[in-house]
Amino acid sequence: MDGITILGTGEYVPDTTATNEMFAKFIDTSDEWITTRTGIKERKISSSTPNFMMGAQAGRQAVENAGLTPKDIDCIIVSTCTPDFFYPNTACLIQNVLGAQPCACIDVNTACTGFITALDLARSYLAMNVYKTILVMASERLTNQIDYEDRGSCILFGDGAGAVVVQKGENKLYYSHSGAEGDMLESLYCKVYYDKNNPFHKEDDFLKDKIDTPQKERYLQMDGRAVYKFAVDAMAGAVAKICADSGFSLDDIDLVVPHQANLRIIQAAIKKMNVDESKVYTNLETHGNTSSSCIPMCLAELDKAGRLKRGMRICLVGFGGGLTYGATIFEY
């Protein structure tokens, strides 16, 4: 069985830092509440850089770190649930900035689980010899979708982008498992907002009982407790399934990179997985939840710190709107 080889990583960290104390100036909250409930101290917000430009900068860095040029890329796969355009897709926009024409350009959206989905897709293409070199990335500007009057959600999220360049890893292990519970859509969603200027359309009443104000119509809606409960079980369950399929135990894993939603969710999930906390990497203290960008941004940080070694077994695990979940274990 063939897996992947990561040749290079990159990230883009936005320019503006929003601390917990800054939030306490415009909503009824405190550094103490946010820190104890989430582990987040600050997050980075893109004040003016569009999503695709963040992605392009992360992608360029990953290509350079791989020792390649954009013309060496056969396919760009971008995970995003916060695109700047309905079309062209974000991968095409990034391809244009990088000058990577004429490679294939694909967007995926499984919300915060998206980087794992994108990596799975890349691995399948590589295994089938469809493409040789793939730029896999996530780029998210979630703060565009946030209602800054909703203290239950606005304190959680930040912006950013992360990227990896991958080629086929001959005889390297790669296992993954993903799933979704579409019936839990109301726990976490952001509905597409259309101006009602079409004389042929009647009122769209889907979720009308939930979306009762223009404010809610435009912004992310979340039932924090429902997501929390789902996340712990879904992440632990996905990793347990991979372990059962592969015959590995978490003792055989060197590094776990979970979705950076909430430190308490991560701690509860790793307790359920029975994994040593010292193997788990987090950056949510300084970045908040950057949706599907969390995991590749963590990989780029680990790479920069010289902590990724060939042969290492890495577990990525996440969850997000859908509700979706996914995990993968691969050899670096």
> In angstroms, what is the minimal distance from the CB of 285 to ligand COA?
14
CB distance 239 to 317 below 8 Å: yes
Sole binder of ligand COA in the list 9, 20, 29, 65 (CB under 6 A)? 29
Percentages helix, strand, coil for the chain, rounded to the nearest 5? 40, 25, 35
Indicate if 298 belongs to the active site: no
Catalytic one of 112, 154, 190, 294 = 112
Catalytic one of 20, 154, 177, 259 = 259
CB distance 325 to 234 below 8 Å: yes
Indicate if 112 belongs to the active site: yes
Q: Residue 20 or 167: which CB sits closer to ligand COA?
A: 20
CB distance 156 to 95 below 8 Å: no
List binders of ligand COA among 33-92 (CB under 6 A).
33-34, 37-38
Whether a cis peptide bond, with omega within 30° of 0, leads into 102 is: yes
Distance CA 91, CA 139 (A): 10
Sole binder of ligand COA in the list 227, 239, 255, 280 (CB under 6 A)? 227
What's the DSSP call for residue 308? -
CB distance 297 to 238 below 8 Å: no
Q: Residue 28 or 209: which CB sits closer to ligand COA?
A: 28
Contact call for residue 110 and ligand COA (CB under 6 A): no
Question: 183 in helix, strand or coil?
Answer: helix
Q: Provide the b/e sequence for 21-54 (b: ≥16 CB within 10 Å).
A: eebbeeeebebeebeebbbbbbbbbbeebbbbbb
Q: Residue 76 or 234: which CB sits closer to ligand COA?
A: 234
Q: Residue 8 or 320: which CB sits closer to ligand COA?
A: 320
Q: Which residue is nearest to ligand COA (CB)?
A: 224
Indicate if 201 belongs to the active site: no
Catalytic one of 287, 289, 294, 298 = 289
Contact call for residue 271 and ligand COA (CB under 6 A): no
Distance CA 97, CA 76 (A): 12
Q: Which residues bind ligand COA (CB under 6 A)?
A: 29, 33-34, 37-38, 112, 151-152, 155-156, 188, 222, 224-225, 227-228, 261-262, 289, 320
Catalytic residue positions, numbered: 112, 259, 289
